[in-house]
Amino acid sequence: MKSFPLSLAMIAAAFTLAPLVLVSTPAAAQGNGDYRCTALPAQVQAAVSTATDADQIQRAQRFLQSGNQLCEARAEGAAARAYRSALRILGASEVRTTAPTDIAQR
């Protein structure tokens, strides 16, 4: 009977911590402001808005949607590849801005 109070305490702790996990999850799912999930989609959308070929626009939008879904799944590398493919289809080039937190390339 001594294990009953301990297991009850564990259950109470789990119910206490559950709301904290639910509150912190959406922030982590947004990609934490990663360049690949913030700047690249914006560049693709800008390139789509200036494109004139309907076929290219449709193909690029598919890659854009795929990239957005990959960012939601926290697969930033795969999302970046999808966004860069969309830029390539549209004939646009990626513009990389350097953030103060970026590590210098050697």
pLDDT tens digit sequence for 31-59? 457 899 999 999 999 999 999 999 999 99
Question: What average pLDDT does the chain have?
Answer: 79
Q: Is the pTM of this model over 0.85?
A: no
> Token match 């800008």: residue?
46
The predicted model gives 18-33 an average pLDDT of 50
Q: How many domains does the chain have?
A: 1
Residue 58 placed within a domain: yes
**pLDDT over 90, % of the chain:** 56
List the single range of 10-14, 28-32, 59-63, 80-84 with lowest mean pLDDT. 28-32
Structure tokens at 96: 């990389």
Residue 11 placed within a domain: no
Residue 49 placed within a domain: yes
Ranges of H-type helices in 1-106: 3-29, 35-50, 54-72, 76-90
Structure tokens at 73: 């799944």
Residue 92 placed within a domain: yes
CA 3 to chain centre: 44
Residue 2 placed within a domain: no
